[in-house]
Structure 1
Amino acid sequence: MIIKCWGARGSIPVSGRDYLKYGGDTTCIEIRTKNDEIIIIDTGSGIRELGKRMIVEKRDKFSIIFTHFHWDHIMGFPFFRPIYSEGTKIDFYGCAFEQGSIEEMISKTMVSPHFPVNFNEVKATFSYVTVCSAAFQIDSVTVTPIMLSHPNRGLGYKFVEDGKTFVFITDNELTYKHPGGLDYEDYREFASGADLLIHDSEYIVEEYEVKKTWGHSIYNDSLRLAMESGVKSFGLFHHNQNRTDGEEDAIVEDCRKIIAEKKSALDCFAVYQGMEIAL
């Protein structure tokens, strides 16, 4: 399993000299299975560059899994170039909960007057699979969902292939239980022993004091989850739109200091756009 990040930013894309290291695009993760099948998590603005790569590689079959349907996680879909090519086939996976259907949520990104091309005019073929609780299979990868603690609900996922485990939980508030959300212990158990955990780490303590209930975690809590879950590697994710490279570096440095003080062997880093990890 090869995991590549095409967008790690939260809320809205950003650009400029302060965001070069970690990147400015919003959530999009690519997973390549051992059979070279492509699984995509979320269609944030990062999917635009992924789509360009897929055109170069002449790829026309994709599985796209959604964590939830907030704007920053779907806004890039109309700019995913393969959808405008005949022969492209996309299987969508996710849970719309009480918000409608997956098709309805995605089609809203291409509604007049906000976008000039209607969803029904694209040339790709789509199928929709509702996955709200039960594990499912995509190629050689077993995927298990878990409810997020986030406004309007959402899902995190565990990906397992050949004994290697990748857990992706973004937009999750560990210290506040939203409707449908779970307890801290549930997330700890879900991530237990994973080779890689990527978890929402948007806030510092001072920010969280005024943004509690917004659906995101303090990086200290995410780090504690990683250490108590016994994962091998931990990636901070969903970087605040105002967080500069230098400020994110300071967060990573503080995490590594805490890890050293706890005498933990955890590998910790901030996920950056273009980062690639092989499990």
Structure 2
Amino acid sequence: MYIRCWGARGSIPVSGPEYIKYGGDTACLEIRTGNSDSVVIVDAGSGVRPLSNSLIREERREYTFLFTHAHWDHILGFPFFKPLYLRDSVIDLYGCPTTQGNMQTLLARTMSAPYFPVPFDELRADIRYGEFCRDAMMLDGMRVECIPLSHPNMGVGFRFSEGDTSFVFLTDNELGHVHRGGRDFSEYVAFCAGADLLLHDAEYLPEEYPQRKGWGHSSFDQVVELALAADVGTLGLFHHNQDRVDADVDDIVARCRALLVERGSDMKCFGVSQTWTTRL
């Protein structure tokens, strides 16, 4: 399993020299399966635009999209995913319906006038829609499981398993508050148990969280507690606040590592950047 991040920022894209290390694009992950290098894309934040350019250069035309939820920072790049406008593109698109509609309806709404000049029904790709809210499915030999996120307007997180390795992605997940449809801490521990890699929303500092409780995001110390309880191999901090420059994210990573040492753990902790890659 190959994983590349194309965007790790939260809420809104940012740019400037102070954002070079971790990048300014919002949520987008690319996963390649070990069997036949199938392309799985998780979320379509602004990072999906450079990913689409890369896939076109590679002449890849078949993809699976998995959406965690439909907040702006996770879908705003979708209309700029260039394969959508190519007739030979084949896209399997999965999302979990909410009270606001299914993913097809929500994406179409963002491309309606006056928000976007090209309507959704003019996309040329062969797009096949599916719902994925529970249980598990297989994608080219990779098992994908999901769990509801604790986040306003709901959403889902994913666990990807191939052979003896597993990766969990829980963005926009508030561990200190259970939102409608969300799960409690113990259920997230069970979902993450023994994962080789956990990427988790860690937007807030512990001293910031009391003023932002209920906004749908976790503080890094809450995420450390989850990682320790689930005994994961490596922890990646995700969904960096739009106002945190590189030095601020470096400080969070340093505090995370110090907390792990204080707890007697040798677990690795790092801040996810939009150029980060790994192979499990």
Q: What residue number does 1:11 align with? A: 11
Q: Which runs of 4+ in 1 moved over 3 A?
A: none
2:39 aligned partner? 38
1:77–1:109: 8 Å Cα contact kept in structure 2? no
Q: How does 1:150-189 map onto structure 2 within 5 Å? A: 150-189=151-190
CA shift for structure 1 position 214: 0.4
Mapped to 2, the partners of 1:91 and 1:25 lie a distance apart of: 24
Corresponding residue SS for 1:97: coil
2:258 corresponds in structure 1 to 257
1:29 alignment partner in structure 2:
29
Distance 2:119 2:266 in 1: 51
**Which residue is 1:266 aligned to?**
267
Aligned to 1:70: 71
TM-score normalised per structure 1: 0.98
Q: State the Cα deviation string for residues 191-235 of structure 1 (Å, max 9, x = none).
A: 010000000000112322221100000111011111111000100
Q: Residues 139-218 of structure 1: matches in 2 within 5 Å?
A: 139-218=140-219
- Note the alpha carbon deviations across 1:149-201, whole angstroms, 9 max, x for none: 00011000000011210000010000101011111011011101000000000
Measure the CA separation in 2 of the matches of 1:267 and 1:167: 15
Residue pair 2:95, 2:102 contacting (<8 A) in 1 also: no
Residue pair 2:159, 2:167 contacting (<8 A) in 1 also: yes
- Structure 1 position 106, deviation (Å): 1.3
Tell me the alpha carbon deviations over residues 110-162 of structure 1, each in whole angstroms, 9 at most, x when there is no partner.
11111111111121011111011111111111100001100011000000011
Is the 1:96–1:105 Cα contact (8 Å) retained in structure 2? no
Write the distance in 1 (CA, Å) between the matches of 2:109 and 2:55: 24
Structure 1: 5+ residue runs without aligned partners? none
Question: Percent identity between the aligned chains?
Answer: 49
Q: Within 2, Cα distance between the matches of 1:201 and 1:73?
A: 16
SS of 1:4 mapped into structure 2: strand
TM-score by length of 2: 0.98
Q: Which runs of 5+ in 2 are unaligned?
A: none
User: Aligned partners of 1:96 and 1:72: how far apart in 2?
Assistant: 18
Secondary structure of 1:268's aligned partner: strand
How far residue 101 of structure 1 moved from its aligned partner, in angstroms, is: 1.6
2:26 match: secondary structure: coil
Structure 1 letter corresponding to 2:6: W
CA distance in 1, matches of 2:259, 2:209: 20
* SS of the residue 1:99 aligns to: coil
- Which residue type is aligned with residue 16 of structure 2? G
1:75-154 mapped onto 2 (5 Å cutoff): 75-154=76-155
Secondary structure of 2:208's aligned partner = helix
Corresponding residue pairs, total: 279
Contact kept, 8 Å, 2:47 with 2:77, in 1: the verdict is yes
Distance 1:228 1:132 in 2: 25
Contact in 1 for aligned 2:175/2:218 (Cα 8 Å):
yes
